[in-house]
Amino acid sequence: MTPAESVSRRVGQLRSHQPAWAALPVASRVRWLSDYRDWLWDNQSRLERLLIEETGKPATEAGLEIPYVVQAINYHSRRASRLLADRRPRPHGMLAITKRQLIVQRPYPVVGVITPWNFPLGLSLLDAVPALLAGCAVVVKPSELTSSAVAAAVAGWTEIGAPQVFGMVGGDGGVGAEVVGAVDFIQFTGSARTGRAVARAAADRLVPCALELGGKDAMIVLDDADIERAANAAVWGAMANCGQMCVSVERVYVEAPVYDRFLAAAAGRAAELRAGTDIGGFINPAQGDVVASHVEDALARGARALVGGRRPGDATVLADVNHAMVCMAEETFGPTLPVMCVADEDEAIHLANDSRYGLSAVVFSGDRRRAERLARRLEAGTVNINDVFANLFTLALPQSGWKESGLGARGGSDAVLKFCRSQAIVSARVMPRRELTWYPYTPVRRAVLHRVSRLLGARGLRRRLG
């Protein structure tokens, strides 16, 4: 069976079961997700072992993915009934007074979730959960490098006896392209290059897509920051998951008065990291070549490696970097922390915004108002203040990418509603033989329409009376 035939068959099976799933009360879909949550807890250890085996993640990091998905199930399940409930807006004008207005949410029949190799379970299920709650069927296409844990997790949906509206297809990018060509909504997480191809294919079919793409997240450390906390945050933000995160701290701008202190603290923290326990390996071996080229370019252009710099998988802290270096412009996606000295906050903002990416950013300052003022100037979908990755755990907030970092958003109300099409239903409250606006047009009817519309729509007695 060809990839096209395999995808077509799987999507067709899911599509056939979706109408009955969408017809269930939201509370019934919530119960199935609750059963699935319990299954995830019961199988957590097995799923984590699969993650460790195929990604090389440290056990602590592998242990974060299931609790993260469970948090999403709990949060979205609490809100789903209210978000998906029918709404009846109040009439707003003369022509609407005699109409009943109704807004209903209709799910996209089949949602395709295409995910990368860095967080196989977390990213696959994070989008699948709200789509299922919305009433969609979901097909997941994980990276061919990390499909085992996802396959086991998707199989769990069948094990609990749930309606067959959640499935997976495996394979390379060609299979992903077939998914894009077969589903009704595409949720893609990956590189900006592939994201463009997905967006073009979706545009050709006139189907919606949401894209979370690359990042080159900047961290700004102001002269009034808590330097110890900032250094600890920067090292974790750059090195967690071996730096293989879209929202990793990929460049740091430090005001001159605290530059040396920050460097010393960050280098000290990075030097303490243990291979295997704190930092795993590269999930995609080719990523090591990218990291090595970025570090070599920086050193050749005058940067100093305070820690690491010899092997691409080592925790590396680079000092005295500048924007002529590749590591400050291109996504590194590895355990590298380049640090640049800036004269003041204006220079920091200018350099932070000097990027084609805009996923998230970080500001460290002892003055919350000052930090928020800078946050409003940053060109990024999310800004964390005195913290890193905090936005990942705030499901009530939208997480969106600006510029080449994506389209659409995760989180908040959009997490469920983006998988729905709003349908407006209008019905007549009163039914005379003819409405005032219908044929035949007569001077009397026009005069009545003119008078009534002015009385209801104009402001001020003179204008109402005409």
Show which residues are catalytic.
212
- The tokens for 103 are 């807004």
Q: What element of type H or E holds 104?
A: strand 99-107
- The tokens for 228 are 């110890």
Under 8 Å between Cβ of 208 and 33: no
The partner residues of 353 in beta bridges, in order of sequence, read none
- Return the closest-CA partner of residue 126 out of 113, 139, 107: 113
- The tokens for 263 are 């460097």
The partner residues of 341 in beta bridges, in order of sequence, read 254
Under 8 Å between Cβ of 222 and 230: no
Before 440, cis peptide (omega within 30)? Answer: yes
Rounded Cα distance, 207 and 218, in Å:
33
Question: Taking the chain, what is the end-to-end CA distance rounded to the nearest angstrom?
Answer: 74
- Return the closest-CA partner of residue 382 out of 367, 363, 365: 363
Rounded Cα distance, 439 and 29, in Å:
48
CA 15 to each of CA 59, 107, 131, 191, 205: distance values in angstroms, whole numbers, following the listed order: 37, 12, 14, 28, 18
Rounded Cα distance, 315 and 450, in Å:
74
Q: Which amino acid is at 113?
A: V
